[in-house]
Amino acid sequence: MSIIKRRQFLTKAGVAAGAAAGTALAAPPAIAQEPIRWRMQTYAGATLGQFVTQPFVDAFNKAANGEMVIELFFADQIVPTGELFRAMQAGTIDAVHSDDDSMASPVEVGLFGGYFPFATRSILDVPVLFQQYGLADIWREAYSGTGVVWLSAAGQDPCNFNTKKEITSVADLDGLRLYTFPTAGRFLTQFGVVPVSIPYEDAEVAVQTGELDGMSWSGITEDYTVGWADVTDYFLTNNISGAWIGSWFANEEKWNALPEHLKQLYISCMEATHTFRNQWYWGGEAKLRATGDKLELRSVPASDWKQVEDAAKVFWEEIAAESETKAKVISIFKEYNSVINAAGFPYGES
């Protein structure tokens, strides 16, 4: 190759290389993908919510490493608790932590959420019933086609009574205006209780103003945590249910759109925080009954309280007669209760 031709070749090659380099340098930088953003609302007010829902949100947001961010809203902040299902179905909110009953789920299993009378004795009964006795499959099927996905259920505290008035007999329930759950209230009306439905965060003030005589909503852990122990005087150790049945839900379209690894991360964080609530509630129920100084403990004798337990058996049969699905759930409650009663204390009757 001649010197002239060689120079022309090098010149052309240099121009081409420079052009290619210039093209590469001129390319716009890659834009980071915006994280997936969800809005979740819990049944709990801010004081309680920091223990029952916030740990999940914090754990998930940290583990998601910027791929997804959940913003948590507390009771009634976006919509009233009774409208949670509809809002989630419509996509106004993306996820919910609540019981089926108080969020008015229009499904056959809805009334079993929250506190279904005497269905459970302790917090661990709930995961056992769902995972070992088939309730998870029934719940999953019940929500199929509604636009809402049921994800998981877990137990929390029992449903006792904290009141301004001393209760030492079943007759003392007569006329009490109590903040309680829809199905629990339906059951308690036969003993003269007047169920009152108000926003969660208004319950404390309602006792102070005399609108309420107390609550049949929780165990003693919640009473102390949210301030109800400051406005009521007595805690009845008898309960109408041993554990709250609460669930986690999501808008079906939003859930289906999540990458599989984020779905798995969501479930893992959710299940991990079930464990936290188990010990937080269980330890609180024992410690505050033993050492708490705000509520005086009272008990109705077992012989008198038996009429409440017997009434629950009648209530179960009434519910079972309403549909095949409800009858199936009731049959599972019966089976499980027969097992724990046969096992004896601490599982069932001593």
The pairing of strands 95-98 and 245-251 is antiparallel
CB 307 within 8 A of CB 117: no
The crossing angle, in degrees rounded to 10, of helices 54-63 and 260-291 is 150
Mean pLDDT across the stretch 116-144?
Answer: 97
Residue 66 in any domain: the answer is yes
Tell whether the model's pLDDT for residue 15 goes beyond 50.
no
Residue 276 in any domain: the answer is yes
Give the HSE-up count for residue 96: Cα atoms under 13 Å, Cβ half-sphere.
Answer: 35
pLDDT of residue 17: 45
| Residue 240 neighbours by CB under 8 Å, 6+ apart | 115, 117, 118, 159, 184, 187, 188, 216, 308, 312
pLDDT of residue 23: 44
Please write the tens of the pLDDT for every residue from 87-114. Answer: 999 999 999 999 999 999 999 999 999 9
Question: pLDDT class for 30, splitting at 50, 70, 90?
Answer: very low
Tell whether the model's pLDDT for residue 4 goes beyond 80.
no
Tell whether the model's pLDDT for residue 268 goes beyond 80.
yes
pLDDT of residue 346: 85
Mean pLDDT across the stretch 29-51?
Answer: 88
Residue 4 in any domain: the answer is no
| Residue 53 neighbours by CB under 8 Å, 6+ apart | 40, 42, 44, 72, 97
pLDDT of residue 95: 98
Here the tokens at position 265 are 């991360």
The whole-chain average pLDDT of the chain stands at 92
Tell whether the model's pLDDT for residue 177 goes beyond 70.
yes
Q: Which residue has the higher pLDDT, 21 or 95?
A: 95
SS3 category, 170: helix
Residue 318 in any domain: the answer is no
Tell whether the model's pLDDT for residue 345 goes beyond 90.
no
CA 56 – CA 270 distance, rounded (Å): 6
Question: What are the backbone angles phi and psi of residue 328, rounded to the nearest 5°?
Answer: -65, -40
Question: What are the backbone angles phi and psi of residue 2, rounded to the nearest 5°?
Answer: -70, 165
Q: Which amino acid would we find at residue 81?
A: T
Residue 309 in any domain: the answer is no
CA 156 – CA 154 distance, rounded (Å): 7
Radius of gyration of the chain (CA): 27
For the chain, the domain total comes to 1
State the DSSP H helix or E strand holding residue 99, giving kind and residue range, or none if neither: none
CB 157 within 8 A of CB 222: yes
pLDDT cut 70: percent of the chain above it: 91
State the CATH number of the domain containing residue 136.
3.40.190.170
Regarding pTM above 0.85, the answer is yes
pLDDT of residue 347: 84
Q: Which residue has the higher pLDDT, 128 or 345?
A: 128
CA 106 – CA 146 distance, rounded (Å): 9
SS3 category, 299: coil
CA 16 – CA 170 distance, rounded (Å): 94
Tell me the residue range of the domain where 144 lies: 36-157+243-292
| Residue 315 neighbours by CB under 8 Å, 6+ apart | 117, 187
pLDDT of residue 32: 61
CB 160 within 8 A of CB 216: yes
CB-based burial label for 328 (10 Å; 0-12, 13-18, 19+): middle
Mean pLDDT across the stretch 212-232?
Answer: 98
Tell whether the model's pLDDT for residue 16 goes beyond 50.
no
CA 59 – CA 269 distance, rounded (Å): 6
pLDDT of residue 350: 57
- Asked if omega into 127 is within 30° of 0 (cis), the reply is no
Residue 238 in any domain: the answer is no
Residue 248 in any domain: the answer is yes
Tell whether the model's pLDDT for residue 158 goes beyond 60.
yes
Here the tokens at position 261 are 């690894």
Question: pLDDT class for 33, splitting at 50, 70, 90?
Answer: confident
DSSP state of 316: H
CA 283 – CA 298 distance, rounded (Å): 20
Among 139, 143, 46, 40, CA closest to 96: 40
Residue 215 in any domain: the answer is no
Among 78, 105, 274, 257, CA closest to 181: 105
